[in-house]
């Protein structure tokens, strides 16, 4: 059963939804009026939904998943400009199975969630990013702890951004 989230509750919904669903397996797809449905990724870790604002007005909604390329960590999997509606489809036992974000232009982003949250995905993201930092420095040894700490800071910053 699908439930529409009132616009006045979008921010609260996103905070709660992100907290309870972070690191669940997520498949993101995008349906556009003239192009049909496009699957953007398969079973990556869900990071969160973030509302973007222009002044006091909601300008867009960004969906974040763990990107295979750690350099893309801060980039959303999909952005919906001028969102008009958020609906949630329940899987039973109070657990969400899908979220739909509708745009004014008729675009619909869909996030299908499965399984339980897997916090080990946090470490996987830190590992990928730390290795990427090592490669970016020319694979010079001796700064592995610095790379790890920098990667942890970046992943934690993204996680915190999804809560507020």
pLDDT at 58 (0 to 100): 92
- 112 with 134, same domain: the answer is no
Q: Which ranges of the chain have pLDDT less than 50?
A: none
Least Cα distance to 132 among 83, 61, 73, 63 occurs for 73
Total structural domains within the chain: 2
**Cα torsion at 125, 40, 159, 69 (round to 10°)?**
30
Is 110 among the domain residues? yes
Domain boundaries, position 12: 2-116
Is 147 among the domain residues? yes
pLDDT at 95 (0 to 100): 61
pLDDT at 31 (0 to 100): 93
Q: Which residue in this structure is represented by tokens 């996987």?
A: 124
- 53 with 89, same domain: the answer is yes
Least Cα distance to 162 among 88, 97, 66 occurs for 66
- 46 with 106, same domain: the answer is yes
Q: What is the CA radius of gyration of the chain?
A: 17
pLDDT at 52 (0 to 100): 92
How many helices (H) does the chain have, and how many strands (E)? 3, 8
């Amino acid at each position: 059963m699908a439930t529409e989230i009132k616009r006045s509750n979008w921010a609260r919904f996103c905070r709660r939804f992100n907290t309870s669903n972070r690191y669940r397996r997520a498949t993101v797809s995008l349906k556009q009026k003239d192009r049909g449905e496009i699957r953007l990724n398969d079973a990556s870790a869900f990071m969160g939904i973030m509302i973007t604002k222009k002044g006091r007005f909601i300008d867009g909604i960004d969906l974040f998943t763990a990107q295979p390329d750690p350099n893309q960590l801060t980039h959303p999997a999909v952005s919906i400009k001028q969102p008009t509606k958020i609906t949630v489809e329940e899987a039973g036992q109070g657990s969400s199975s899908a979220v739909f974000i509708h745009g004014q232009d008729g675009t619909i982003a869909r996030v299908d969630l499965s399984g339980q949250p897997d916090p080990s995905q946090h470490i996987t993201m830190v590992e990928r990013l730390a290795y990427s930092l090592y490669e970016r420095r020319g694979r010079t040894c001796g700064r592995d702890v610095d790379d790890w700490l920098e990667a942890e800071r970046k992943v934690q910053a993204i996680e915190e951004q999804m809560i507020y």
